Structure 1
Amino acid sequence: MLLDFFFLVVTHLILAIFRQLRLETRMDEHALKEFYIPKYIFVPDSKAEVLPHAPKNPIIVFINSKSGGQLGGELLRTYRQLLSEAQVIDLGEEAPDKVLYKLYANLERLKSNGDVLAPEIEHKLRLIVAGGDGTAGWLLGVVSDLKLTRPPPIATLPLGTGNNLPFSFGWGKKNPGIDHKSVEYFLNQVMNAREMKIDSWHIIMRMRAPNEGSCDPIAPLELPHSLHAFHRVSHTDSLNVEGYHTFRGGFWNYFSMGMDAQVSYAFHSERKLHPEKFKNQLINQSTYAKLGCTQGWFCASLFHPSSRNIAQLAKVKVMKKHGHWEELHIPHSIRSIVCLNLPSFSGGLNPWGTPNHNKARDRGLTPPYVDDGLLEVVGFRDAWHGLVLLAPSGHGNRLAQAHRIRFEFHGAAADHTYMRIDGEPWKQPLPEDDDTVVVEISHLGQASMLAAPGCISKSILDPSTPPSASHHLDDGGSPEDSDGDESWEERRKFGAANTFKLSEDIDVAHLS
């Protein structure tokens, strides 16, 4: 009798557990419907469907299936199991500009035909991009190209090596889980995430056509594939100047030059030669550290020619107030300079830190806000100097904050230097004669990001921000203002579609 009673109790417990599991499954399925976008929204000339109600959190997911070793492909399969296949895009098969252009064109058609769901989806749409910083920047650039009245905010899922963009907005820097529960948890975070603005930056490089050789940027082993890297403007482009080579592009996180870019160049070259060795995030990071040693970054005073130190290579000018350029003093020991938009560099380090009250009072330095129209300019002597960032209050050599920066490289100092934008490096030949190569960075506009609770980025719109910080954007004047030597037409090119288009012969696997 006692045994029968025990068996009955156990049976009831098992049945209760199964009922709870079924209830949780139904709750998950119900919650997932709030992310669902019906297929007809993506298909031109399709007939509208009648749904019980509009989804509260419609999303489109873009996944670089070649990122993160095998994780990208596995993550793609999980998302497609949970959502409709139409709203989960493999970037190896479809480019985001084509997907979003077709989507928004169809939404406009449906709205004009009186569809009640289309305006709801357009208003509530959020995007997820899974990949490295290069992939995330690709989507940011494409959304900027569309010039939408209300651009959809973007959440970044880390699948790269540095993952500075995801880390800056609270999405972490480690590769994510690929099982259903992990993906559902991430979707729930996206649903509850808050919107933040992020500054975008236009960059232009111009040099006189050399009598011999070339000054074209040299990417690791092949032509630049990064969506942020410089692109030569066409002869019909308004940026083109007779007798000069002109390149332009844009970035969201940072522009750097010098020894750090040299190490990055070595890493990317090695990864392209032996891609099979770079399928694990931890291995990638350890390889990067080893290359820092072999390239002399830890013994820069012995292995790095002083002629390639920043002060010997270029004059650096900054514009803190509109219309007024001033030359920036660069200590002769500085071998690397970083123009930083986000508080994350080299996998989560913050080179700027938080200036104390004395620095704020004496030099007018503020914390690094991502929407204040200012870049933080930081210098480093070597890798040992960089290690101070691991300390709680560590920072690099704070040089300036500015809304425009100009580098003027003159011939004879060195035959080349290294540069990189948002993790994508290249080797830049410099003129052999007395001519000058000019690189200029200027603030352009803003994009919308989604921020998770662990977000480390700060906004000037945050009520806790000191009042003095909010004045910096006004010092630069509006983007429509221009100097005599450069027009607004040039700077708006950052948003032109060609800036971010991938060539058809580019393999998406090469994107970080």
Structure 2
Amino acid sequence: MMNVARYQQWDTIELEPILRQMMAEIDYDNDGIVSLEEWKRGGLTTIPLLVLLGFDNEMKEDGCHIWRLRHFSKPTYCNVCCNLLVGWGGKQGLACSLCKYTVHERCVRNAQNTCIHTYNTNPTKDTVMIHHWLDSNSAAKCAKCKSTVPIFQGKRCRWCHNLLHTKCIELWPKECDMGSLAYHTLPPVNIIPSFLDRSQSQNSNFVQGNPTKFSVTNLPPNRRPLLVLINPKSGGRQGERIYRKFQYLLNPRQVYDLIKDGPENGLHLFKSIKNANILVCGGDGTIGWVLDAMDKMDYGENRPPVAVLPLGTGNDLARCLKWGGGYENEPLQKILHSIEKASQIYMDRWQITIEQTKKSDKGDPQPNHIINNYFSIGVDASIAHRFHVMREKYPEKFNSRMRNKLWYFELGTSETLSSTCKNLHEQIDILCDGETIDLGNGPNLEGIALLNIASIYGGSNLWGNSRKSASGFHIPILFPQITNNAVYGLQNRVQDIGDRLIEVVGLESAIQM
């Protein structure tokens, strides 16, 4: 089991005492050895063991809990036996990722399937959103009377996240307004399985099984539901924790794991929504993946805007869009409110065509045809390609943003010493707007970059923050209509990702990266 945990890149220091305790519980004869009979009796069927091994974290039928092991920073009580959660390594138990229903591992078999319903099984009824109340197993303030709610003397709504005394619930509106995140949340009463229309539902009050395709109808006004697409491998696996948090804050049906599901399922569900937003949680590559998938959808004029939660290594596009250089564990509610207030801008995207001049030359197929950030030839491309190949081969070595940057630094240093792209300017010709750029009179170049955004290499601004910083590092060779005396004006030109212009920049060496 420990080998499985290490392969999944879990924290085995925390996991080992938990496994020891669980094995001790199914060692019924206390001989220090779990026999095959004991394993079959307890170990093979224990839900906590399946959770630890990663076999019990998939979306099930509506109403079923999705368990995960949790450690609590404040006193928390079991929703089944009402006793305090205490265990190895501090307070611990199993908590549902969707509704926060919490139990001891020994109580999990007695837990009722009282989890949320994420879609509407009977669309013929009035589509009124009602609260989903759960017993409160930790003390907090009442949303109605503002006094403290003792443990198990109140209830919390999973959708609006309001906590009330049991007696205060009678004074609270029956209809749930979805709380402070209503603007982004897709109400389950408006999600209908695609195989269930009104004529079918008249003869059936319940949808059997777990449908995979849904449609959205009759959304409340003044809402812009948010489609959340998460790459769990980005940012040192930050995405896994963010995925679980968004599943609780929003409707789980609007949160997708890109590695398991890809972007298509979520995009198809949201295609019929006239006013929607998309949040991509990942790096620049993840954003490009989602934008390419959106290009294949027939949106027309109803293409939804895309926000970014930066989880990658460089996050250059997120920097240009003012979402920051990396997610630093800010409250996700704060980010959602920022999306609600954000303004929309247009971004250029460029199609690139690569043609072979000699039919005898055989190269690798072109993987992408769209430039979102930049396209480069030479030293930059060499380092990026080596980084990509190494990350695909040894993913365990690329489990944090800082570690990834150190790898980039090491590869850049190696490239600086080897200079594999030395005198690249002697091997290429550049034509801008029909005019040839004279590279022979300039400095020796090891790379050429076509830029669509101002940020590159994890935050470097190729135009510089001042005249002094810009003049010493980058050699602009764009705009042939500008004379040689106009280089000063080029470097002080305001770069805009929506100006329908692409900048061409020469790089002298890997040091500039």
User: Same-fold call, TM > 0.5?
Assistant: yes
Aligned pairs for 1:252-267 (under 5 A) are 252-267=372-387
The structure-2 alpha-carbon separation of the partners of 1:73 and 1:203, relative to structure 1 and needing over 3 Å to count, comes to same
Query: Match of 1:155, SS?
Result: strand
Answering whether residue 423 of structure 2 is matched by residue 309 of structure 1, we say: yes
Answering whether residue 283 of structure 2 is matched by residue 132 of structure 1, we say: yes
Q: How far has the Cα of 1:103 moved from its partner?
A: 3.8
Match of 1:290 in 2: 410
The structure-2 alpha-carbon separation of the partners of 1:291 and 1:42, relative to structure 1 and needing over 3 Å to count, comes to farther
AA of the residue aligned to 2:327: N
Match of 1:30 in 2: 179
**Bigger Rg, structure 1 or 2:** 2
Match of 1:141 in 2: 292
The structure-2 alpha-carbon separation of the partners of 1:288 and 1:37, relative to structure 1 and needing over 3 Å to count, comes to same
Q: What is the CA–CA distance in structure 2 between the aligned matches of 1:29 and 1:97, rounded to whole Å?
A: 27
Gaps of 5+ in 1: 1-12, 108-120, 218-229, 232-247, 388-512
Q: What is the CA–CA distance in structure 1 between the aligned matches of 2:373 and 2:432, rounded to whole Å?
A: 18
Q: How far has the Cα of 1:345 moved from its partner?
A: 0.2
Aligned pairs for 1:366-445 (under 5 A) are 366-384=493-511, 386=512
Q: How far has the Cα of 1:328 moved from its partner?
A: 4.5
Match of 2:447 in 1: 336
Q: What is the CA–CA distance in structure 2 between the aligned matches of 1:370 and 1:355, rounded to whole Å?
A: 19
The structure-2 alpha-carbon separation of the partners of 1:52 and 1:275, relative to structure 1 and needing over 3 Å to count, comes to closer
AA of the residue aligned to 2:194: P
Query: Match of 2:355, SS?
Result: strand
The structure-2 alpha-carbon separation of the partners of 1:313 and 1:52, relative to structure 1 and needing over 3 Å to count, comes to closer
Match of 1:445 in 2: none
The structure-2 alpha-carbon separation of the partners of 1:183 and 1:47, relative to structure 1 and needing over 3 Å to count, comes to farther
Match of 1:205 in 2: 354
Identity of aligned residues (%): 29
The structure-2 alpha-carbon separation of the partners of 1:142 and 1:328, relative to structure 1 and needing over 3 Å to count, comes to farther
The structure-2 alpha-carbon separation of the partners of 1:190 and 1:103, relative to structure 1 and needing over 3 Å to count, comes to closer
Q: What is the CA–CA distance in structure 2 between the aligned matches of 1:173 and 1:162, rounded to whole Å?
A: 7
Gaps of 5+ in 2: 1-140, 164-176, 199-215, 477-481
Q: What is the CA–CA distance in structure 1 between the aligned matches of 2:196 and 2:495, rounded to whole Å?
A: 47
Answering whether residue 306 of structure 2 is matched by residue 154 of structure 1, we say: yes
Q: What is the CA–CA distance in structure 2 between the aligned matches of 1:42 and 1:285, rounded to whole Å?
A: 45
Q: What is the CA–CA distance in structure 1 between the aligned matches of 2:161 and 2:254, rounded to whole Å?
A: 22
Q: What is the CA–CA distance in structure 1 between the aligned matches of 2:222 and 2:236, rounded to whole Å?
A: 33
The structure-2 alpha-carbon separation of the partners of 1:38 and 1:30, relative to structure 1 and needing over 3 Å to count, comes to closer
AA of the residue aligned to 1:57: R
Match of 2:436 in 1: 326
Q: What is the CA–CA distance in structure 1 between the aligned matches of 2:242 and 2:266, rounded to whole Å?
A: 20
AA of the residue aligned to 2:486: D
**Structure whose residues are more often strand by fraction:** 1
**Structure whose residues are more often helix by fraction:** 1
Q: Is the 8 A contact 1:35 1:56 kept in 2?
A: yes
Answering whether residue 188 of structure 2 is matched by residue 44 of structure 1, we say: no
Two-structure CA RMSD over aligned residues (Å): 3.6
AA of the residue aligned to 1:127: I
Match of 1:90 in 2: 257
Match of 1:498 in 2: none
The structure-2 alpha-carbon separation of the partners of 1:310 and 1:355, relative to structure 1 and needing over 3 Å to count, comes to farther
Query: Match of 1:37, SS?
Result: coil
* CA displacement 1:137-156 (0-9 Å, x = unmatched): 11122223324212100001
Answering whether residue 166 of structure 2 is matched by residue 18 of structure 1, we say: no
Q: What is the CA–CA distance in structure 1 between the aligned matches of 2:186 and 2:178, rounded to whole Å?
A: 14
Q: Give the alignment's TM-score, normalised by structure 2.
A: 0.55
Q: Is the 8 A contact 1:317 1:327 kept in 2?
A: yes
Q: How far has the Cα of 1:70 moved from its partner?
A: 2.8
Q: How far has the Cα of 1:102 moved from its partner?
A: 4.8
* CA displacement 1:431-465 (0-9 Å, x = unmatched): xxxxxxxxxxxxxxxxxxxxxxxxxxxxxxxxxxx
Answering whether residue 244 of structure 2 is matched by residue 77 of structure 1, we say: yes
Work out the number of aligned pairs and report it.
317
The structure-2 alpha-carbon separation of the partners of 1:46 and 1:343, relative to structure 1 and needing over 3 Å to count, comes to farther
Q: How far has the Cα of 1:50 moved from its partner?
A: 8.8
1:172 to 306, 320, 324: 324
Query: Match of 1:337, SS?
Result: strand
1:186 to 335, 339, 361: 335
* CA displacement 1:97-130 (0-9 Å, x = unmatched): 34323542xx3xxxxxxxxxxxxx41x2110011
Q: How far has the Cα of 1:329 moved from its partner?
A: 3.0
Deviates more, 1:124-133 or 1:38-47: 38-47
Q: How far has the Cα of 1:42 moved from its partner?
A: 6.5
Query: Match of 1:197, SS?
Result: coil
The structure-2 alpha-carbon separation of the partners of 1:310 and 1:347, relative to structure 1 and needing over 3 Å to count, comes to same
Q: What is the CA–CA distance in structure 2 between the aligned matches of 1:161 and 1:269, rounded to whole Å?
A: 15
The structure-2 alpha-carbon separation of the partners of 1:193 and 1:46, relative to structure 1 and needing over 3 Å to count, comes to farther
